Structure 1
Amino acid sequence: AAPAAAVAAGEPAPLGVPMTKNEAAVDAIPVEPVEEEVTAAHTVDLIGRVMNLQSGVLVVESSDHQQALDERSVLVLEDRTVVGRIFDVFGPVEKPFYTIRLGEGAPDASRLAAGTAVFAVRELSSFILRQALNTRGTDASNDCDEEVPEGEQEFSDDEKEQAAKTRKKHAKRAAASAGMEDGGRGTRNRRGGGG
Structure 2
Amino acid sequence: GSSGSSGELPSVEELTIILPEDIELKPLGMVSSIIEQLVIIESMTNLPPVNEETVIFKSDRQAAGKIFEIFGPVAHPFYVLRFNSSDHIESKGIKIKETMYFA
The normalised TM-score by structure 1 is: 0.45
Aligned to 2:102: 120
Post-superposition CA distance 1:86-130 (Å, at most 9, x none): 0001100001000001259x6536832221111012xxxxxxxxx
Q: Residues 75 and 113 (structure 1 numbering): CA distance in 2 closer, same or farther, change over 3 Å?
A: same
Structure of higher CA gyration radius? 1
The letter of the residue matching 2:93 is: R
Query: Pick from 84, 96, 102: which aligns with 2:83?
Result: 102
Query: Pick from 55, 58, 62: which aligns with 1:74?
Result: 55
Contact 2:32 2:40 in 1 (8 A): yes
Give 4+ residue runs of structure 1 displaced > 6 Å after superposition: none
For 1:120 and 1:59, locate their aligned partners in 2 and report how far apart those are by CA, in whole Å: 15
Q: Residues 107 and 70 (structure 1 numbering): CA distance in 2 closer, same or farther, change over 3 Å?
A: same
Contact 2:17 2:62 in 1 (8 A): no
For 1:61 and 1:109, locate their aligned partners in 2 and report how far apart those are by CA, in whole Å: 21
The letter of the residue matching 1:53 is: I
Q: Measure how far apart 1:35 and its partner are.
A: 5.3
- Matched position secondary structure for 1:94: coil
Q: Measure how far apart 1:38 and its partner are.
A: 1.9
The normalised TM-score by structure 2 is: 0.79
Q: Measure how far apart 1:77 and its partner are.
A: 1.1
The CA RMSD measured in Å over matched residues stands at 2.6
For 1:37 and 1:51, locate their aligned partners in 2 and report how far apart those are by CA, in whole Å: 24
Any gaps of 5 or more consecutive residues in structure 1? 7-20, 122-195
Whether 1:87 aligns to 2:88 is no
Question: Relative contact order (alpha carbons < 8 A, sep ≥ 6): 1 or 2 greater?
Answer: 2
Whether 1:111 aligns to 2:93 is yes
For 1:45 and 1:100, locate their aligned partners in 2 and report how far apart those are by CA, in whole Å: 17
Query: Pick from 10, 30, 37: which aligns with 2:11?
Result: 30
- Matched position secondary structure for 1:108: helix
| Greater share of helix | 1
Q: Measure how far apart 1:30 and its partner are.
A: 2.9
| Greater share of strand | 2
Q: Residues 37 and 103 (structure 1 numbering): CA distance in 2 closer, same or farther, change over 3 Å?
A: farther
Number of matched pairs: 99
For 1:51 and 1:116, locate their aligned partners in 2 and report how far apart those are by CA, in whole Å: 8
